[in-house]
């Protein structure tokens, strides 16, 4: 299933919860209110920072995330940005390789989840960290809280040498992409794909093929990517979601998302399978 359109990890990362203790090799993902400290290497790629930079900040919380090679990694929330540059990740995707994008997303989500689960939603008492799991526990009523993840599907609908792409109302002009939507409670992923395609563009799809996934931390999606074969129906768009949806021939595609996004990987993979240049 995997081919070169789907990024391979460039560095070894092994996730974990139990803190082995930091040392001089440790690396820190420093966050402040949903933004990440910008520190680029000589290739203009984003990197986590060493202890000497962490020491500049007043730390609110620090959570072990796992090992990158032999370096233990921490998500750190700091009190004040000082005069350092903190940035929203979404506008700077070209500065991240896949491993770093996923690790920064992990750090931001862990910090956000800890910040927003300080108190029990059931009884209102203070929660504490679970000793072994990535969970917070209410000692008063026993409820556990796990990090919030929102599974969603993203799907390329295809019909021989054509693909069905939509223009979301929030997209920049001319940009078309694959269709996407959140999984509802009680729904299988396959049901979500069929429902979303039907709702957004009015067509029915037949055979589904799962291609791969991408964590998308804005704020906590996990995107599950499919190819879906067109079966029947004419395009009728859901106007509160899409401005436009059309069939595009593979030799005349519109502007599509950049190489950092799963929507692009789904499109590039289909182009390649049908013998078109990517």
For Zn ion, give the closer residue by CB, 121 or 206.
Answer: 121
Kindly state whether residue 14 participates in binding Zn ion, applying the rule CB under 5 A: no
Q: What is the smallest separation between the CB atom of 147 and Zn ion, expressed in angstroms?
A: 18
CA terminus-to-terminus distance, the chain:
18
Burial class (CB within 10 angstroms; exposed 0-12, middle 13-18, buried 19+) of 249: exposed
Cα dihedral 135/138/143/146 (nearest 10): -20
- Which positions ≥6 away from 75 have C-beta within 8 Å? 29, 31, 62, 63, 65, 106, 107, 108, 110, 111
Nearest residue (CB) to Zn ion, 3 versus 128: 128
The answer to whether 140 and 123 are in contact (CB under 8 A) is yes
Q: Closest separation between CB of residue 117 and Zn ion, Å? A: 11
121 makes contact with Zn ion (CB under 5 A): no
| Among positions 14, 40, 82, 123, the unique one binding Zn ion when judged by CB under 5 A | 123
Interacting residue with Zn ion among 120, 193, 203, 256 (CB under 5 A):
120
User: By CB under 5 A, which span of 117-125, 189-197, 208-216, 267-275 interacts with Zn ion?
Assistant: 117-125
Q: State the nearest-atom distance from the C-beta of 260 to Zn ion, in Å.
A: 40
Cβ within 8 Å of residue 18, ≥6 positions away: 64, 131, 132
Binding track, positions 142-161, relative to Zn ion; x by CB under 5 A: -x------------------
Binding region for Zn ion (CB under 5 A): 120, 122-123, 138, 140-141, 143
């Amino acid at each position: 299933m995997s081919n070169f359109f789907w990024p391979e990890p460039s560095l070894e990362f092994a996730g974990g919860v139990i803190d082995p203790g930091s040392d001089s090799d440790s690396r820190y993902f420093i966050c402040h209110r949903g933004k990440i400290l910008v520190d680029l290497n000589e290739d203009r790629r984003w990197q986590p920072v060493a202890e000497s930079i962490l020491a500049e900040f007043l730390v609110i919380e620090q959570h072990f995330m796992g090992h990158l090679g032999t370096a233990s990694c921490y998500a750190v929330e700091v009190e004040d940005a000082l005069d350092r540059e903190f940035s929203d990740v979404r506008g700077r995707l070209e500065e991240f390789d896949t491993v770093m994008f996923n690790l920064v997303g992990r750090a931001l989500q862990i910090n956000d989840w800890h910040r927003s689960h300080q108190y029990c939603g059931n009884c209102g008492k203070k929660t504490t960290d679970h000793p072994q799991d990535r969970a917070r526990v209410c000692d008063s009523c026993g409820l556990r809280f796990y990090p919030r993840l929102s599974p969603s599907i993203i799907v390329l609908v295809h019909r021989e040498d054509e693909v069905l792409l939509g223009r979301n109302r929030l997209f920049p002009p001319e940009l078309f992409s694959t269709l996407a939507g959140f999984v509802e409670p009680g729904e299988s992923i396959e049901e979500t794909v069929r429902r979303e395609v039907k709702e957004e563009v009015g067509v029915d799809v037949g055979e589904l093929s799962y291609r791969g996934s991408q964590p998308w931390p804005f704020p906590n999606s996990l995107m599950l990517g499919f190819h879906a074969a067109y079966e029947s129906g004419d395009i009728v768009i859901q106007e509160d979601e899409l401005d436009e949806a059309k069939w595009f021939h593979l030799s005349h595609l519109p502007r599509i998302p950049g190489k950092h996004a799963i929507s692009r990987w789904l499109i590039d993979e289909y182009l390649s399978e049908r013998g078109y240049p990517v």
